[in-house]
Amino acid sequence: MKKVYIKTLGCQINEYDSNIILNILYRNHKLEETLNMYDADILILNTCSVRDKVDSKSLSELGTWKKIKEYNSNIIICICGCFAYLNSKFFIKNTPFVDIIFSPKTIHEISNMLTTFLETKKKIIQLEAPILEKFNYVYENKTHSYSSSITIMEGCNKFCTYCIVPFSRGKEISRSFNSIISEIYSKIINGSSELILLGQNVTSYYNLINNSKFIDFPFLLDYTSRIEGINRLKFISSHPSDFTSKLIDIIKNNEVISKHIHLPLQSGSNKILRLMNRSYDIKYYKDIFNELKSNDNSIFISTDIIIGFPGETDKDFEETFNIFDELKFDNSYIYIYSDRPGTLSFNMADKINNIKKKSRLERLNKLLDLNRKYINNSMVGKIYRVIIYKIVNNICFGKTDNNRSVVFKDHYFNVGKSVLILINHISNNIFYGKSLK
Ligand code: SAM
Ligand code: SF4
Ligand code: F3S
């Protein structure tokens, strides 16, 4: 059987797209996935362009693949994803060893592109298609883990001034309700009990059922959580501006919906938030944070922060540091600002130098570590819902909503089951506990 190797960079939506590609290639060409690139007949690079470092990773991977092709001229090299889409002209001109170039919109065309390439041996470039078309080609493979992701919307209309996503993924568009629900059912049939709803801004989801009933994200979340077989329902990413009281109410009063919310803040300074075009201020963010947390210590909030946005003074950074200290996020992805050609901030003055950015990053990372220790310790002696992902000799391995690893002994349970665990102690970042039956 011929083999395909796929390397995916970037976000979970790219991972989801890569799965669609693999399933199409398996179904139509009997191509099996290999994790060893030197063993493959086809190499696919699914790229990202959110920061410059990830662009460099793609270019370095392609450098290695070029050498592989020098030894094995039969190997087929494909490149897709956001970086490939944004820079298609560059790849057409400068990478003659790349055989197929496609985009996040045309992943479902991989089978046709491959057939045409095999017939003609001519470079194939296919970048445009209606964005929702690919969801008609979501085939299931048979080997599912307990956790699966499902893209419910794509693109973004928010145009944060630093972000390339609205350019690489285009305008926001929501997938049809029926298509989402039917994919959810097939994931459950294949053994998943934890589902993650994906989108650049899932909270902006809206659609019509049967061309009449309007539905929004709170409706979709609530409806999905009631489907039998789902033990935990997560979603990522949400935008603070779309986080309504109605949504908070649904999250708090529903056992199946994960109590871990990812709510990107980006900066603790109102001035920087304005420059970023984030459309909320710190007071608004804190109000949502506190509404989520009020009377409920099982809610965990994580965030994204950008360090060194153009114009970020020491005072602006101190404001980020202070709100970070005050809110004690459960986790945070802290990114150094990266200039993205084509975005508004690319042309902004007052760029921050690398030394300053790195020292700010270090300070914030130290605080994050302290906060995590504080949160970990506060979890001891409390009860959390845990989904079991592995059982070995009656030892169960599970994950809490906020992704902490939990180990406990029991012989009554199966993989995928949701159980309540009283945490006894922590050792090396692993939580030990006992189940409450
Ligand atoms: N839609 C989500 C939101 O609004 O929060 C985030 C999606 S984005 C792909 C993931 C994260 O990458 C962002 O939250 C931001 O922190 C970070 N990011 C995006 N552009 C960046 C840039 N130019 N430099 C550094 N970090 C960036
Ligand atoms: Fe990028 Fe902002 Fe859209 Fe998130 S909301 S994807 S950060 S433009
Ligand atoms: Fe990267 Fe595109 Fe995702 S730029 S973060 S792969 S939407």
Partnered with residue 78 across adjacent β-strands are 44, 100
User: In this structure, is the dihedral angle defined by the CA atoms of residues 93, 96, 97 and 98, taken in order, positive or negative?
Assistant: positive
How far apart are alpha carbons 181 and 343 in whole angstroms?
A: 35
Partnered with residue 431 across adjacent β-strands are 406, 426
Give, for ligand 1, the residue of 13, 152, 306 to mutate: max count of ligand atoms closer than 8 Å to Cβ.
Answer: 306
Query: Is the CB of residue 273 less than 8 Å from the CB of residue 305?
Result: no
Residue 151 has pLDDT above 70, yes or no: yes
How far apart are alpha carbons 21 and 28 in whole angstroms?
A: 11
pLDDT of 142 reads: 61
Give, for ligand 2, the residue of 13, 164, 238, 239 to mutate: max count of ligand atoms closer than 8 Å to Cβ.
Answer: 239
Percent of the chain whose pLDDT exceeds 70: 99
Residue 337 has pLDDT above 70, yes or no: yes
Greatest alpha-carbon span in the chain? 66
Kindly give the pairing relationship between strand 418-427 and strand 383-392: antiparallel
Protein residues with CB under 6 Å of any ligand 1 atom: 11, 50-51, 162-163, 165, 200-201, 237, 239, 264, 266, 304, 306, 335, 337-338, 340
196 Cα: distance to centroid of ligand 3 (angstroms)? 17
- Predicted confidence band at 189 (pLDDT cuts at 50, 70, 90)? very high
pLDDT of 411 reads: 76
Which positions ≥6 away from 174 have C-beta within 8 Å?
152, 153, 204, 205, 206, 207
170 Cα: distance to centroid of ligand 3 (angstroms)? 11
pLDDT of 143 reads: 60
Give the SS3 label for residue 192: coil
pLDDT of 40 reads: 97
82 lines ligand 3 (CB under 6 A): yes
203 lines ligand 2 (CB under 6 A): no
pLDDT of 413 reads: 80
Residue 140 has pLDDT above 90, yes or no: no
200 lines ligand 2 (CB under 6 A): yes
82 lines ligand 2 (CB under 6 A): no
51 lines ligand 3 (CB under 6 A): no
Q: Which amino acid is at 385?
A: R
Residue 144 has pLDDT above 70, yes or no: no
Q: Calculate the average pLDDT of the chain.
A: 95
- Residues 352-366 have a mean pLDDT of 96
Q: How far is CA 340 from the centre of its chain?
A: 20
- Predicted confidence band at 98 (pLDDT cuts at 50, 70, 90)? very high
- Predicted confidence band at 83 (pLDDT cuts at 50, 70, 90)? very high
Neighbours of 167 (CB within 10 A): 17
